Amino acid sequence: SYELTQPPSLSVSPGQTASITCSGDKLGDNYVCWYHQKPGQSPVMVVFQSNKRPPGIPERFAGSKSGNTATLTISGARASDEGDYFCQAWDSKTGVFGGGTKLTVL
Amino acid sequence: EVRVMESGGGSVQPGRSLRLSCAASGFTFDDYGMHWVRQPPGRGLEWVSSISWESDKKIYADSVRGRFTISRDNAKNSLYLQMNSLRAEDTALYYCAKDVGTGYNFYGLDVWGQGTTVTVSS
pLDDT in tens, A29-56: 899 999 999 999 999 999 999 999 999 9
Question: Band of the pLDDT at A2, cuts 50, 70, 90?
Answer: confident
Averaged pLDDT, B39-52: 97
**Residue A26: per-residue pLDDT:** 85
Name the residue in chain B with its Cα closest to that of A38: B44
How many whole angstroms separate alpha carbon A93 and alpha carbon B110? 21
Nearest of A21, A17, A27, A23 to residue A9 by alpha carbon = A21
pLDDT at A92: 79
Average pLDDT for residues A62-75, to the nearest whole number?
Answer: 97
List CB contacts of B66: < 8 A, sequence separation 6 or more.
none
DSSP 8-state class, residue B104: S
Q: What is the mean pLDDT of residues A100-105?
A: 98
Which amino acid is present at A47? V
Residue A1: pLDDT above 80?
Answer: no
Q: Is A33's CB within 8 Å of B108's CB?
A: yes
The answer to whether residue A86 neighbours chain B at the CB level (below 8 Å) is yes
Q: Per-residue DSSP letters for chain A?
A: ----B--SEEEE-TTS-EEEEEE-TTGGGS-EEEEEE-TTS--EEEEBTTTBPPTT--TTEEEEEETTEEEEEESS--GGG-EEEEEEEE-SS-EEE---EEEEE-
Q: What is the largest CA-CA distance in chain B?
A: 41
- Span B66-111, pLDDT tens digits: 999 999 999 999 999 999 999 999 999 999 999 999 888 999 999 9
pLDDT on residue A90:
87
Indicate if the alpha-carbon torsion angle B110, B97, B75, B64 is positive or negative: positive
pLDDT band of B113, cuts 50, 70, 90:
very high
Interchain contact, A88 vs B47, CB within 8 Å: yes
Structure confidence at residue B40 (pLDDT) = 98
Q: What is the reported pLDDT for B99?
A: 96
Rounded mean pLDDT, B25-51: 97
DSSP annotation of B65 reads B
Diameter over CA atoms, chain A: 40
CA angle A24, B97, A19 (to 5 degrees): 40
- Nearest-CB residue to A95 (from B44, B50, B112): B50
On the question of pLDDT at B39 being above 80, the answer is yes
Q: Do B82 and B62 form a contact (C-beta atoms < 8 A)?
A: no
Return the number of CB contacts < 8 Å for A and B.
64
